[in-house]
Amino acid sequence: MLMRHCRSRDIQILDVGCGTGIVGEHLHANGFRRFDGTDPSLEMMQHARARSYENLLQLIPDQPLPVSDSEYDATLCVGVFTHGHLGPEGFSELIRVTKPNGLICFTVNEGVWDNEGFANAIEQHSLAGEWEVLEMIKQDYMVNEGIQAWYVAVKVLG
Ligand SMILES: C[S@@+](CC[C@H](N)C(=O)[O-])C[C@H]1O[C@@H](n2cnc3c(N)ncnc32)[C@H](O)[C@@H]1O
C-alpha cells in the first residue's frame, strides 16, 4: 500500500509500533533506506537493530511520540490498532509527525474496528480536513487464524 501511493523510495519513514522490525525488513527489501522505528518495548526493538532502522526510539504509551511535528514523509503503523494496544485516539499523533501531503498507512484488526469506533474516527479526521482517505480495504491479515484487518492509506492535508 505504501508503494502504491508514494512517488519515491527516497523518503523518510517512521514505523510506529515497529516491534521486532518485520516492517523494516520489508521496507529494506523493497529499496527504502531511510526509516526509523518506535515502540514501547526496548526488548522487541533489540531484534529490530539488525533490520536496518536508522534510529530506534522508545515511546511511552499515551504520551506524544518521541519525534517532532511534520518530520516524516510517511508513517506506518502495522499491527498496533488491535486488541489491548492502541485505539483510534492514536491517529492524532500519526498525523502530527507526518508532513503535509505525506502518507499514513495503518492496519486495524477487524476485531476492534466496530467496537472501538475506528470507522467513525477515520471519518471525523476527514471531516476535520486533517487527512484524505486514499484507500481502505479489508483483507487477510493473520492468515492461519482466519482473521482479517482493514488496511488504510491516508494523505495528510496541510
Ligand atoms: C503485533 S506487534 C506488531 C509489530 C510490528 N509492527 C509488526 O508488524 O511485526 C504490536 C506492537 O505494538 C506495540 N505497541 C503496544 N502498545 C503500543 C502503543 N500504545 N503505541 C505504539 N505501539 C504499541 C507493541 O510493543 C508491539 O511491538
| 44 CA closest ligand 1 atom index | 27
Sign of CA pseudo-dihedral 62, 66, 71, 72 = negative
Ligand 1: residues whose CB is within 6 Å?
Answer: 16-19, 22-23, 39-41, 44, 59, 61, 78-80, 85-86
What is the pLDDT confidence band of residue 158, given thresholds at 50, 70 and 90? confident
CA 79 to ligand 1 center in whole angstroms: 6
Task: Please enumerate, as own/partner, the contacts of 112-120 that have beta carbons within 8 Å and a separation of 24 or more.
Answer: 112/81, 112/82, 112/83, 112/87, 113/150, 116/87, 116/88, 117/88, 118/81, 118/88, 118/150
| 22 CA closest ligand 1 atom index | 9
| Integer CA distances (angstroms), 20 to 3, 8, 128, in order | 22, 25, 34
Calpha distance 75→14 (Å, rounded)? 5
Task: Give residue for cell 476485531.
Answer: 111
CA 113 to ligand 1 center in whole angstroms: 17
What is the pLDDT confidence band of residue 139, given thresholds at 50, 70 and 90? very high
| 76 CA closest ligand 1 atom index | 6
Region 66-90 average pLDDT: 98
pLDDT the model gives residue 153: 98
The answer to whether 82 and 20 are in contact (CB under 8 A) is: no
Mean model confidence pLDDT for the chain = 97
pLDDT the model gives residue 47: 97
CA 9 to ligand 1 center in whole angstroms: 24
Q: Max alpha carbon distance in the chain (Å)?
A: 41
CA-closest candidate to residue 70, choices 7, 132, 158: 158
pLDDT the model gives residue 42: 98
CATH code, 69: 3.40.50.150
Pairing of strands 72-81, 98-109: parallel
Determine which residue's CA is closest to atom 21 belonging to ligand 1.
17
pLDDT in tens, 86-138: 999 999 999 999 999 999 999 999 999 999 999 999 999 999 999 999 999 99
Domain of residue 114 covers 2-156
